[in-house]
Structure 1
Amino acid sequence: MTDRDARLTPLTHRDADWSGLRVVVTGLGVSGFAAADALLEHGARVRVVDAVAPQPETPMAERAHILEVLGAELLLGGGAETTLPGPAEEIDLVVTSPGWPPHQPLLAAAAGAGIPIWGDVELAWRMRPSEGGAPWLLVTGTNGKTTTVQMLTSMLRAAGLRAASAGNVGTPVQEIVQDPQPYDVIAVELSSFQLHWSHTLRPRAAVCLNIAPDHLDWHGSLEAYARDKGKVYANAEVACVYNEQDLATRRLVEQADVEEGCRAVGFTLGSPGLSMIGVVDDVLADRAFVEERETTAAELGSLADVQGQAPSVAPHLIANALAAAALARAHGVAPVAVREGLRAWQPEPHRIAHVATCDEVHWIDDSKATNPHAARASLVAHEHVVWVAGGLLKGADVDELVAATAARLRGVVLIGRDRQQIADALARHAPDIPVIDVAASDTGAMDLVVRHAGELAQPGDVVLLAPAAASMDMFDNYGARGDSFAAAVDRYVQEG
């Protein structure tokens, strides 16, 4: 055991001796700040590195000022991220923000020098109380993570538990762990980045919702990406939940090293088999967490409880509800609380959000569908769709998406930098579908998109913004794109 290992191995809870630990924190974003703040509070010596120098009167500048007052050394901008900030023998640990890939120069140098690298989530796990820390329920997957976590949190709260959602969903899990008023349970959304840098998590239960190509530039290959996703199941105590419709997730469970007695629990859009949760007619049915599961099932809710005000319920939304229910049931939540949690849940903006219905045409904003896998999940939820698509495809292939959904397309309106790639796929797989190319990229572009979509739509159709692409070619983020779409729809409806 090296001196570093001897120093770090006992650091498994907040009451351990963190004093004097020499830590480099990479990234001054929200998660990096939370990690540095917690380390300083526990007596560590912290240096924070970021490629960006904060501009005055910005959130980043405020974070930098706070950390400086607390005693951190800040190395910001000017190539600070290109190398280790000092001799390797004077660094005990690197704590990295999730967006930094392993091949980033500073992290590569740390790995080459044998310096351990933890992610912000790994640090948060090791800073839980020595006794009575809230159990974690983990959620990962290419798509649907945030929705599932929020559904799960709603179910936990309906059961009377003090529950929080954290991680990739927005609030750093470090902030939740450090809260002076302890939580009963934490629902943690984890990206593949966060899982890559996690090593010792022991969840009460975990799920990988699905696997599709994404972030391959970060991970290097689909195999490496899936391997990092599979780390969500490591050391699980009660249940490893997998998607029966995505066998890659079952294989990850089969390969996982879990606690004795941990069960594999599937969720399915069909009728559930033994030790599964699924759908019987319009009922969400549990055959995994009932005593006589060979012959009986518990009713957890109905499709109407998931649908809310939407014109229909998307299959992937049902899948998310089933996955959340499986985790809640693994934690001991009663069926009635699962139902009440689903009824209380409200979708986040830009996730299959119903914008308007006018002249029997439904307008749906799913701007969060930033990759082909997510867009396909939205498209298959509707019989006839006018599809609004395009943006930054980030190298993703759209042929499979177009081929799988061509029969549902009433028409397509394309926008954004990589729209020609989608147009080419449509020409190959759906040559008879009318396609309108909107080349404009100014502030009025979305009004043109909506007008053309309205002309293509027929009564009963859905006009669906599910771009299958990122938004930064034209908008600050997917939220701004969705807001632009909703505003343009409102103007179109008002004009009559």
Structure 2
Amino acid sequence: MDAQEVTSDQWADRHVAVAGIGLSGRAAARVLAGRGARVTVVESRDGEGERAHAAELAALGVTVRLGDGETLPDGADLVVASPGWRPDAPLPAAAAKAGIEFFSEVELAWRLRRPGPSGEPAPWLALTGTNGKTTAVRMLTQILKAAGHNALAVGNVGTPIVEAVLDESIDVLAVELSSYQLHWSSSVAPLASAVLNIAPDHLDWHGSFENYAADKGKIFAPGSVQIVNADDAPAAALGGPDAFGFTLDCPAPGQLGVVEELLVDRAFVDDPRTTAAELAELSDVRPFAPHNVANALAAAALARAFGVPPEAVRAGLRAFVPDPHRIAHVATVAGVDYVDDSKATNPHAAASSLASCRSAVWIAGGLLKGADVDDLVRSAADRLRGAVLLGADRARIAEALARHAPDVPVVDVPDTDTGAMDRVVTEAAALAQPGDTVLLAPAGASWDMFTSYGARGDAFAAAVRALPGTRPETRPETRAETQSETR
């Protein structure tokens, strides 16, 4: 539905400031303007792209102020924030001083929900975590579709949620939520919510691991079905006494888990003490890796909480097509596998990726965002053939390798030009032996050298394809997009 066709309501004549002119900010501005609100978008940047977006919004009657994202517009009685707006930034401080609400586009979407096919607003099945959110929410969407639902992936992925809630044909939403979005939300109450894992990330934004975990925990609203990763202590700690769990081990009553080669449910069945439902086989999970099995179990748990039958879980997992740059096999050259996991933008994700390799030449580096890498290196030391480091924080990874894996050869590549990845891959190929995996799992964000983790992964794949002996048929299609690295 076009936002301009939405009838005016309680939002009419309110003066709303929208913080940020990115995808979600523009969507919020359009929807609010369509409901009769007076909207002012504030944005600290003032580049060509921002001016083009400003012109589009101006045609809808939206005021846009570029070059100043810190000052509260005169007369504003509400601020809707794009993801990533820091708690200590001047704008939320000004809103607090003025006594006006400051909340996320996700919170706005919750307040704007419209009745769906059932006559009630479409329920939300939500998940968060440090890693795996996008994969799990896309798995969930495929499972819901296999059960016959008109489902849509939204939130920190896919369609802006503030637009999706206006589509009356949608009967259930699969919602990915980052810690940023949850921080600025207060009343969101999904039907069921899951926490995949919690590991230190974005500590520069949240200030501490405790604050980060607390924001993740806001996904568990009163009355929501709670689902936690029973194998991840920080995630499990967020659940209440009635929380359901998922595990890579044999499940206890109230859990989903793995029995031999099967994914099984002992939570959402008639008698969890004596019965279990077979959901899928391990071979149905793609790409196969332990952490991706956990993603599949989380998606299955949310779907089962919504009443999806077991056969739809299997069908949905089989229909799922992994996104690029997630433990994606690029090529096998001279007996060495080359794998692109550029989406491993923090140490927890990199550790999961390395755990799937018996012997790896690790390509790592980027922006660590305040995260510590000692535990990562310590856990992976015995499977490292070598390491090739690039990016702004490579010295910190080198120091951790010297402490915990002193016998592992390390190559430092200080280059930052467009040919840097070619040199990285050449150095990695020289360290690798037949049977090894050259693994791009950077443990850091890409913004120091690349426009996105997708661009970084594409550069890796291109460099691999340029190696002598690469067969043309192993060359995959790739794409470089501006992709989120928020958690």
> With structure 2 as the length reference, what TM-score do the two structures score?
0.92
Give the AA of the match of 1:204: L
Q: CA shift at 1:15, angstroms?
A: 7.4
Does the 8 Å contact 2:154/2:175 carry over to 1? yes
1:466-481 to 2 correspondence within 5 Å? 466-481=441-456
Q: Distance in 2 between matches of 1:76 and 1:493?
A: 49
Are 2:143 and 1:144 aligned? no
Structure-1 separation of matches of 2:34 and 2:122: 21
Is residue 219 of structure 1 aligned with residue 209 of structure 2? no
User: Percent of counterpart pairs with the same letter?
Assistant: 58
Change (3 A) 1:440 1:66: closer
- Residues 390 and 467, structure 1, Cα contact 8 Å, conserved in 2: yes
> Which of residues 51, 55, 76 in structure 1 aligns to 2:66?
76
Deviation at 1:494, TM superposition (A): 4.1
Residue pair 1:201, 1:235 contacting (<8 A) in 2 also: no
The answer to whether structure 1 residue 404 and structure 2 residue 379 are counterparts is yes
**Within-5 A mapping of 1:249-328:** 249-254=235-240, 263-308=242-287, 313-328=288-303
Matches within 5 A, 1:97-496: 97-129=82-114, 131-179=119-167, 181-237=168-224, 239-254=225-240, 263-308=242-287, 313-494=288-469
SS, match of residue 219 in structure 2: helix
SS at the partner of 1:232? Answer: coil
Distance (whole Å) between structure 2 residues aligned to residue 493 and residue 333 of structure 1: 49
SS in 2 for 1:203: coil
Contact preservation (8 Å) 1:14, 1:126:
no
Quote the offset at 1:14 in angstroms.
Answer: 8.1
CA distance in 2, matches of 1:356, 1:37: 44
CA contact (8 A) 2:334 2:469 kept: no
State the shift of 1:442 in Å: 2.1
TM-score (norm 1): 0.90
CA distance in 1, matches of 2:162, 2:52: 19
Aligned length: 463
1:410 counterpart SS class: strand
SS at match of 1:117: strand
Instruction: State the Cα distance separating 1:104 from its structure 2 match.
Output: 1.1
* Corresponding letter in the other structure for 1:355: V
**Cα separation, 1, equivalents of 2:283 and 2:335:** 21
CA distance 1:76–1:441, shift in 2 (3 Å)? closer
Amino acid at match of 2:320: W
Q: Which amino acid aligns with 2:235?
A: T
**Matched letter for residue 89 of structure 2:** Q
How far does the alpha carbon of each residue in 1:251-275 deviate from its partner, in whole angstroms, 9 at most, with x for none? 21228xxxxxxx4110001000011
| Alpha-carbon contact 1:15-1:129 (below 8 Å) kept | no
Partner AA of 2:448 in structure 1: D
SS at match of 1:253: coil
Q: Flag structure 2 segments of 5+ consecutive residues without an equivalent.
A: 1-5, 472-487
Which one-letter code corresponds to 1:292 in the other structure?
Answer: D
Q: 1:37 aligns with which of 25, 30, 46?
A: 30
* Residues 62 and 236 (structure 1), Cα distance of their counterparts in 2 relative to 1, 3 Å cut: farther
Cα deviation digits, residues 282-308 of structure 1 (max 9, x gap)? 110100011122112111111111135
Distance 2:282 2:436 in 1: 21
- Kindly indicate whether residue 53 of structure 2 is the aligned counterpart of residue 66 of structure 1: no
Counterparts in 2 of 1:14 and 1:396: CA distance versus 1, 3 Å: farther
Gap change, CA 1:166 and 1:213, over 3 Å in 2: same
On the 8 A contact 1:402/1:426 being kept in 2, the answer is yes
- Aligned 8 A contact 2:202 2:371 in 1: no
Check if 1:96 corresponds to 2:89.
no
Matched, 1:46 2:39: yes
1:20 matches 2:13: yes
- In structure 1, list runs of 5 or more residues that go unmatched: 1-12, 256-262
2:47 and 2:410 map into 1 onto residues whose CA distance is 44
In the other structure, the counterpart of 1:9 is none
**Any idea what the Cα deviations from partners look like across 1:17-64, whole Å, max 9, x if unmatched?**
221112111111111111111111111111111112241xx3x33432
Deviations 1:195-226 (A, max 9, x none): 01111112110011111111122222211111
438-447 vs 27-36, greater mean Cα deviation: 438-447
Q: Distance in 1 between matches of 2:461 and 2:186?
A: 42
How far apart, in 1, do the equivalents of 2:400 and 2:332 lie?
Answer: 30
Distance in 2 (alpha carbons) for counterparts of 1:328 and 1:394: 33
Instruction: State how far apart, in whole Å, the 2-side matches of 1:100 and 1:307 are.
Output: 34
